[in-house]
Amino acid sequence: MNIIEKVKEYESFLIKERRILHQIPEIGLDTYQTCEELEKVLIDHKIPYRKVLGSRGIIALVDSGKPGKCLAIRADMDALEIKEETDLDFKSLNGFMHACGHDCHMADVLTTLLVLNSIKQEFSGVVKFIFQPGEEYPGGAELMIKEGALDNPKVDCIIGHHVGGLFASVPHGSIGFKSGNLMASMDKFVIRIEGSGGHGSMPEDTVDPIVCLVDIVQAINRIKSREISSSEKCVISVCKVNSGINQNIIPSEAEIEGTVRTFNDDVRKYIRKRIGEISEYYSQGNRCSVSYDYAWKYPHLANNDNIIELLKKSTRKIFSEDIIHDIESETMAGDDMAYYLEKVPGSYFMLSNLKMDKNGKTYPNHHPKFDIDEGELYKTVAICVQFALDYLN
């Protein structure tokens, strides 16, 4: 069987479905409409499935009818709170955007499902398809696991992929593979500062939370450069500050939100402790009170060495060597695929397919003008199909 030819039979469906999903982006765990669209396809093709997380996620099965292993293939479903600025005919109009490619991931995996269902006599065992909300936040993978996504049947191996341009070193149209650490852990911190507001002309009668906020942000930004080894990969970023309503009013409250990324849990623990200490120290020094929350979220994502090699071997069967690219360095971006890979051997691979606009520019994941080259999507489907045949047989 020629896998590329077989997948190409479904390419028009793949692109059509990606465009439908692109128009209905939903945030976090609230992916009801997205589930309804996926459900239509599964019903039309008589694919057994069950809805989970209160109809916000889906687990579908393609069973060969022959005993064997269970391979899982995962797709994330949620979008971002970004207003789309592309000129696509099928752009989102609801104020949200699939600016990270999850529309492509769903379409890829749904197409893989249909291809494997059409050739299920060619393999033994079961392929489980996990359509999961909340990758961007709060971590739907962890919730899916708790609802039994890796059980009944028990998953022996799991794979997933990401489109776009997360790794600039991977040339356009190429597939990126990396053994071991691939993506960093992702934690979130929130600091709330309480002061006492008043007139901007009389600061001596107030307790200014903005002064405290500035001190805390500056001190947080020094943790990495002054307290952590330069050889340690980690990022601490303050990404949101909020305070004040007018130019002549000193506010009573201020808030800071940020993220921590690393590959070392000891470093995570240290940073969590230090942000709390810094917040308390400067709040006291500025006569404010403070509350501090640190959400220990996604673990770092590490690929299984054996599965990566099997994936590369499968890729070589259907594509030339020149599209296979070894990723040399990890990214500080995170992904909750890491939760699955903590439980089950598996791997995450990358397709580089950013699309140039009419001015010859490309825009990265999470940008309001982010777009992908749909002509490259069939490659991930072909790799997933070939890997399923190789792994299950």
Contacts of 54 (CB under 8 A, 6+ apart): none
- List 255, 257, 280, 374, catalytic entry: 374
> Which DSSP symbol is given to 298?
E
Helix residue spans in the chain (DSSP H): 3-8, 11-22, 32-44, 102-118, 140-146, 209-227, 265-285, 305-318, 337-343, 377-392
State the SS3 of 244-260: CCCCCEECCEEEEEEEE
Concatenated DSSP letters of 120-136: GGGS-SEEEEEEE--TT
Q: Is 374 a catalytic residue?
A: yes
Rounded CA-CA distance 220/282 in Å is 11
**Tokens 């002509």, residue located:** 375
Tell me if 153 sits within 8 A of 130, measured CB to CB.
no
**Count of alpha carbons within 13 angstroms of residue 194, beta-carbon side:** 4
- List 282, 298, 363, 391, catalytic entry: 298
Rounded CA-CA distance 115/130 in Å is 16
Cis bond leading into 368, ω under 30°?
no
Rounded CA-CA distance 383/120 in Å is 16
Catalytic residues: 298, 374
